[in-house]
Structure 1
Amino acid sequence: MKLKSALLAVLFASSAAVAMAQTPLPEVDPLDDRSVKRVERMEKVVRELRAIVFQGRDTGKPVVVQPAETDAQIAALNDRITDLEQTLTKLNGQNEAVTFELNKANRAAVDQKARADALEQRLAAIEKTLADLQAAAAAQTAAAQNASEAVPPPPPPPADPAVAFKQARQLLLDGDYANAEQAFSTYVTNYPDNAKTPEARYWLGETLFVREAYTDAAAAYIGAIRGWPQTTWGPDATLKLARAMVALKKPTEACRTLDELSKRYPKASSQITSRAASTRVAAKCS
């Protein structure tokens, strides 16, 4: 009875709704689609209600109301919105990672530019120093050429090496360093294996050291002390080599040479020892 009463009530309501739907509506603006859509929705509801009533009447079973199509669409939309939100969250995370890497790359680029600018400045300073050194070397070469042109050429070297050595030594004692340098250089070239050749290299180094040709002087001193000769001039040649290295701004080589001086010539004179100590200070030896 209760079910029948409920069904009759639903049927009555549906009939009333149909009657209302069939009742002529007042004239509206034909362009007002909203009214048309409202009517269509009402008719759809009426059809669904009638189907429910007939289902209960024909089967006598409880009426199962099927979910409306709109509910399924809403559920699908909710799922889609959830997926979009997850995708958006993922994209935001990726965007943050890209932004971090971009900032990191920008900082690296700034650091590289700073290093490049510093290298440019150092290179410019080195180029300027090199240009100054080249200009000074050219001026020194020109001055040396003028000086050599002003000095009369020395007499041709004698055939006897002893006489040649004596003449070169006398030029040095007379203060004629230019001709003494040339004479000792010729001696070393002409008599490379003579017993006096190491000493000639030492005196050649002295003439070069006087005119501050430290590179050539160092080469001459090295040739003189090869084998560490136990001579009166050996300690001085070693000391002069260390001083030439200091002048060439090679303190490490200078300190090593001074170490060899004390090792190879432990009985060197006090004058040599004193000058070696001052040279060690100049080279900042440990």
Structure 2
Amino acid sequence: MRVLRLSLAALAVGAAFAQPAHAGLFEDDEARKYIKVLEARIQANDDAAKQRSEQLNTQMQEQLQTLRRSLLDLNGQIDMLRGEVAKLRGTNEQLARDLSETQRKLVDQSQSVEARLKPLEPQKVSLDGREFQVSPDERSQYEAAIGIVRRGDFTEAVAALNGFLKRYPSSGYTDSVRFWLGNAQYGKRDYKDAIATFKAFVSANADHPRAPEALLALANCQIELKDNRNARRTLDDLIKTYPRTEAAQAAKERLAALK
């Protein structure tokens, strides 16, 4: 600014002295006044510029402060978000672990339930050339009753077989149970009951694989009761109806002995 003042003053002086001497437009006092006016204007411009500079500087400082606060707020928000993300990540990891543990427990429980239910599921059984479904308890009781017959405890066997028929009247084991019931009754020497059981068995199951054996057992019961006439009739029916069976061959021998 000082250089600018000097230049303007020099210009003013130069302009004053550059005029022809005879014009007399500028005297020394007038030149000084003019210079002072210019200096005042320059000072005013300097003051205005300085004031403007200070205002701009103040505004910039305020803007910087505002920007710093905004940055601080933003950084705080970022830190908060990072904390929430970390917390959510930890929660998700815990949820994933909980889910995995729950799934494992469900699998274990499912396997446990299946293991418990499996013994209760119906089972396919093949007996005397026939297949049918039975419950585990049904099969267990049948096998227990047949076991009693095989060990020769016929009184207990009759009770067990009759009990089975009452509990499972529609069982696939029914025909076999009746056959063995007749044998148990024969073993007890309850020949009349055995005859009734074998007759009912053959009447209801003429095509059963054990029907020839039932007729032979029926004839034996009649023989034990000294009813040889009906015994011969039974043996004749056996030979005619089931001629190629082992029971028929035995019937021929028994029939020959009766004569």
Same fold (TM over 0.5): no
Larger-gyration structure (1/2): 2
Q: TM-score per shorter chain, which class?
A: 0.3 to 0.5
Q: Using structure 2 for the length normalisation, give the TM-score.
A: 0.43
Q: Using structure 1 for the length normalisation, give the TM-score.
A: 0.39
